[in-house]
Chains A and B, each alone.
Chain A
């Protein structure tokens, strides 16, 4: 069972944060296909947020094919969610990543700096994604 948390200061809209947390959970194996997400009422009670926000997040996840909602039963992680990364794909991504890290080191960034830059890029991408939603 995934418990959500909220970073009120990040500037990322609440429903996007919820969507991201579900995505991450399926990626790193916290959630598997068929697992039930907390009901909207449970999330609302836990976080004290607007119920429409939760519904928005779950609707977005459903439109991405990540979850399926069954009226009366709940919202479940869909079958056929992206499996953990295939080794070949992982190697390819790692090559690109290693070369980027080298460029960043030359530019003078340390580990913290690189992570900060990555977070910034991800956040901006998420906010842009909010407009489309």
Chain B
């Protein structure tokens, strides 16, 4: 597996608060990885450190083997970033934004950027302030893609977009991934948004990494067990409990299954990705390390 982003013990401290703490993860290249977690979990901090806008307080991060703060020229040439709220200079025209990209990046594909925006019917003469939210998002995306990056980072790219604009943005994103094969990491706190488009997942909770893994495998490896009211110890097998809820007569456990089957008393139900994510977010102590099975080529 080739690695797009590698973090070891990464941390960022602000005054008396750690925005990110002891974060270790490897994001594979050639995939669309979703970064999910509640507000304040450290998603923005992680993405900004990956592009070199923030220096780590602890630990290390590397992108394709380079340090974003140590070798900024190398990293910025290969990494595109769409920041939170997709900021642009509002008095600029669309064409001006592309010029900005052309002047500030050593490598720039003006023709492809122009073609992309033309396909979306976004005229180069239009002022950014006069575009709709969805169109501005497309311009931000075109700017980030203009340098033909190998890794694209997007911080909550769908926030404040209407459903149609969201679909169109995602469509534009996956089209370019299909055509160029670039790696993508996008953050959101809405799981449903990510499910359609991501095939890899990182769960950040309270500044720490809770889960890293392939989405299909995560969904397959987690089950909901329902049975009479009992404690976790009596599940049987070697499943790990992520979340347990008990009513007067019933227990429901969302577990990560192990190699051995669980006890026959339990009803086994499949779970959706959203349920898996919610279970982990609700139980910060639970964590899953990347299992060997997830390392095989996707």
Q: What is the interface of chain A, defined by CB distance below 8 A to chain B?
A: 6, 8, 11, 13-14, 40-41, 44-45, 48-53, 127, 130-131
Interface contacts (Cβ under 8 Å), in number, total 48
Q: Tell me if A50 and B199 are in contact (CB < 8 A).
A: yes
Q: Which residues of A contact B264 (CB under 8 A)?
A: none
Q: Pick the contact of A49 from B196, B219, B220 — CB < 8 Å?
A: B196
Encoded as 1 (CB less than 8 Å from any A CB) or 0, chain B from 138 to 181 comes to 00000000000000000000000000000100110011011100
The closest CB in chain B to the CB of A133 belongs to: B216
Q: Are B174 and A49 in contact (CB under 8 A)?
A: yes
Q: Can you list 7 A-B pairs, Cβ within 8 angstroms, ordered by A?
A: A6-B196, A11-B272, A40-B178, A48-B171, A49-B197, A50-B196, A131-B220
Chain A binding site: helix, strand, loop or mixed by DSSP?
Answer: helix
B177: A residues at CB distance < 8 A: 44, 50-51
Does B298 lie at the interface of the complex (its beta carbon under 8 Å from any beta carbon of A)? yes
A8-B196, A130-B216 as given contacts; A44 in contact with B298, CB under 8 Å: no
Among residues of B, the one whose C-beta sits closest to the C-beta of A6 is: B196
Q: Is A45 a contact of B175 with CB atoms below 8 Å? A: yes
Residues of B within 8 A of A48 (CB): 167, 170-171, 174, 196-197
Partner of B220, one of A8, A44, A52, A130: A130
Cα of A40 to Cα of B178 in the assembled complex, Å: 8
Residues in A neighbouring B167, C-beta threshold 8 A: 48
In the bound complex, what is the Cα–Cα distance between A130 and B217 (angstroms)? Answer: 10
CA gap between A16 and B263 in the complex, in Å:
29
Chain B residues contacting A45 (CB-CB under 8 Å) are: 171, 174-175, 178
Chain B interface size band reads 20 to 34
- Identity of the chain B residue whose Cβ is nearest the Cβ of A53 in the assembled complex: B199
* Interchain CB contact under 8 A, B197 and A41: no
Q: Find B174's partner among A6, A14, A51, A130 (CB 8 Å cutoff).
A: A51
Extra pairs beyond A44-B177, A53-B199 (15, CB < 8 Å): A40-B178, A41-B178, A44-B175, A45-B178, A48-B197, A49-B174, A49-B196, A49-B197, A50-B177, A50-B199, A51-B177, A52-B199, A127-B270, A130-B216, A130-B220
Q: How far is the CA of A53 from the CA of B196 in the complex (A)?
A: 9
Tell me the smallest distance from the CB of A15 to a CB of chain B, in Å.
8
Asked if B216 and A50 sit within 8 Å, CB to CB, the answer is: no
B175 and A52 contact, CB distance less than 8 A: no
A41 and B179 contact, CB distance less than 8 A = yes
Chain B residues near A11 (CB, 8 Å)?
270, 272
Known: A11-B270, A40-B178. A50 touches B171 (CB 8 A): no
Residue of A6, A8, A44 touching B178 (CB-CB under 8 A):
A44
CB of B178 within 8 A of CB of A13, answer no
Contact for A44 among B174, B216, B219, B272, CB less than 8 A? B174
Interface assignment of B49: CB less than 8 Å from any CB of chain A: no
Q: How far is the CB of A76 from chain B (nearest CB, A)?
A: 19
Q: Which residue of chain A lies nearest to B31 when distances are taken between CB atoms in the complex?
A: A52
Contacts of B175 in A (CB 8 A): 41, 44-45
Report the minimal beta-carbon distance from B207 to chain A, rounded to whole angstroms.
28
Q: Does B198 have its Cβ within 8 Å of any Cβ on chain A?
A: yes
A14 to chain B, nearest CB (A): 8
Q: Report the Cα distance A53→B220, complex, angstroms.
A: 15
